[in-house]
A and B are shown apart, each in its own frame.
Chain A
Amino acid sequence: MSHHPGRMVGELLRHSVRQPATIRYPAVKADLPDKFRGRIQFIAERCIGCRMCMRDCPSNAIHITKEGDKRFSCRIYLDRCIYCAQCVDTCPKDALYATMDFELAAFTHDALQRDYDAPPATAEPEAPPAPETKDSEGTGPGA
């Protein structure tokens, strides 16, 4: 065994001709894993107003408000959200899901509030839109 300085020179030289390890984000879109927990999205048509999400949210980031008979609106504070997606696991009606959206920086707190209106009062109950990432989200016991 030889003891001399510069044991990593070989490594350095080998890497000088290789591609850099860094990815070219944001020029190239980031590759996200399937189960990524991004911004939480609310589907108003599915909400039954049990408010379990509000109860389980560790950071008080969800507010469900009753707007009328079986109609609920939702406000999500993205600045408080810690993106644990416990609300997604908790929701018994799958009215919440985690999107792949993570580029959420804003200049004001107000810009980080997301309001989701209640469904219109007169509308007939229609088939709710299928969430984009539903299949890949939440294989946990609550889902």
Chain B
Amino acid sequence: MANVTIPVGPQHPALKEPECFKVTLDGEKIVGVEIRLGYNHRGIEKACEERTIVQSQYILERVCGICSHSHSTCFLMAVEEAGKIEVPRRALWIRTLIGELERIHSHLLWLGVAGHELGFDTLLMYTWRDRELVMDLLALISGNRVNYNMNVLGGARRDITDAHRAEIRKALPVFRERTAYYARVAQEESTLIARLSGVGRLTKEEAIFYNANGPTARGSGVDRDTRRDDPYLAFPELEFEVVLDDHSDVYGRTLVRIGELMQTYDLIEQIIDGLPEGPIGPARAIRRVAAGEAVSRYEAPRGEDIHYVCTNGTDKVERVKVRAPTLGNLPAVVRMLEGGFLADVPIVVAAIDPCFSCTDRGIRVARSQGQDVWDADALRAYAIEFYRKRGLDLTRVKAPGR
């Protein structure tokens, strides 16, 4: 029988965000995968060029709903490096604390989503219930559950009080107990092991070759963690272990995330114990930033987040480029899916903890012949012609924003 091509997405029950995986099948077996990006392009980088740095910070915080603090911190770290702005030590520690709390909520969320993709909804319900505890902590410290807005150029926006520290200290034993329980479930529940073992295989060599990052790489035994390799914020002063696993499949990635949760609790304990005294931000809000350029790397819960920023001496940025962790992990997904089964697509894709909206930046498609870049008018003319051939007249539909 000839090979069959099935599009998984852009609208598909297994995907929470629009992205297209064109899967070529030989029977049930996947023989080829083609990924199409760009369904959720929001023009964030361009929007930042037209706004001041103070405004861009909030726009970039909304690149991702889950690792929002990662993006805003990564951007500000780049701006501060480019403009040579000194950040008080206490502010660095506060940023680190929020980043690690965010890692707890992201990893617990992922564990639930993975359970859901397997049909193990019991795991989803309990992990998400436990996640509420860290959401409450973040709301207590920052005011809101998501988009904490804890950063300001050159410092932190809100302070950590003793009451906050006491609340975090109270929650840590609960987190530890629950995570130890999930670790036990992951190691003993035979259905989970059977379903995840050998699925989405990515050997160590392949992970390095396809440049996987974050827990995806560490689940294949690649010893790579920005927090240790290129320490930022308070990480030079903190001690933690990089969790590795050599299962090299979805099961390995699950174990890495659960192990990382335990390390994160240790990190949070170190931060609240050693939080230095001092100011949390500049006395006067900084608006203008000296000209310069910088690249900053940040270990977001999903993997390595990279921001490039070029400042020009005004209160705006000349250029900002965002590389979300998911974009780095997508080439590896193609390799993971090949040779697997169609039914494994949802869990293999979910195993990199994808965030497609974060990923979609402007991408120029290089073609060997013909026009490769279309402007809005050309795209509109093509769409009208496309639908006219199918008997639909869309000439009277107004283009947005005109």
Contacts and interface: CB of A to CB of B under 8 A. Distances in A.
Interface in A29-80: 33-37, 55-58
A135 interface: no
Contacts of A24: none
A7 B122 CA distance: 11
B58 interface: yes
A21 B135 CA distance: 14
Contacts of B61: 84
Contacts of A21: 129, 132
Residue in A3, A34, A58, A89 with the greatest tally of chain B CB atoms within 10 Å: A58
User: Contact size class for B?
Assistant: 35 or more
A35 B282 contact: no
B142 to A, nearest CB: 7
Contact of A142 (B123, B139, B285): B285
B58 A86 contact: yes
B5 interface: no
B158 A35 contact: yes
Given A7-B185, A35-B158, A56 B55 contact: yes
Given A4-B190, A8-B123, A141-B280, A58 B59 contact: yes
Residue in B155, B188, B280 with the greatest tally of chain A CB atoms within 10 Å: B188
A89 B280 CA distance: 15
Contacts of B188: 1-4, 7
B58 A5 contact: no
Residue in A2, A83, A140 with the greatest tally of chain B CB atoms within 10 Å: A140
Contact of B122 (A2, A12, A58, A83): A12
Interface string B283-301: 1110000000000000000
| Interface SS, A side | loop
B364 interface: no
Interface string B48-72: 0001101110110110000000000
B139 A140 contact: no
A141 B62 contact: no
B58 A11 contact: no
Nearest to B155: A141
Contacts of B52: 55-56
Interface string A81-94: 01111100110000
Contact of B143 (A1, A7, A35): A35
A141 B191 CA distance: 53
A90 B123 contact: no
Contacts of B141: 35
B77 interface: no
B157 interface: yes
A58 B55 contact: yes
B149 A84 contact: yes
B191 A5 contact: yes
A33 B136 CA distance: 9
A140 B281 CA distance: 8
A84 B147 contact: yes
Contacts of A5: 189-191
A95 B169 CA distance: 37
A108 interface: no
Given A33-B139, A83-B144, A7 B283 contact: no
A122 interface: no
B190 A37 contact: no
A123 B141 CA distance: 41
A35 B142 contact: yes
B240 interface: no
Residue in B144, B152, B189 with the greatest tally of chain A CB atoms within 10 Å: B144
A57 B55 CA distance: 6
Interface of A: 1-8, 11-12, 21, 33-37, 55-58, 82-86, 89-90, 139-142
6 contacts: A36-B139, A56-B54, A58-B56, A84-B149, A86-B58, A142-B285
9 residue pairs, one from A and one from B, having the closest CB atoms: A35-B143, A141-B281, A58-B55, A140-B157, A7-B189, A58-B58, A3-B190, A33-B139, A21-B129
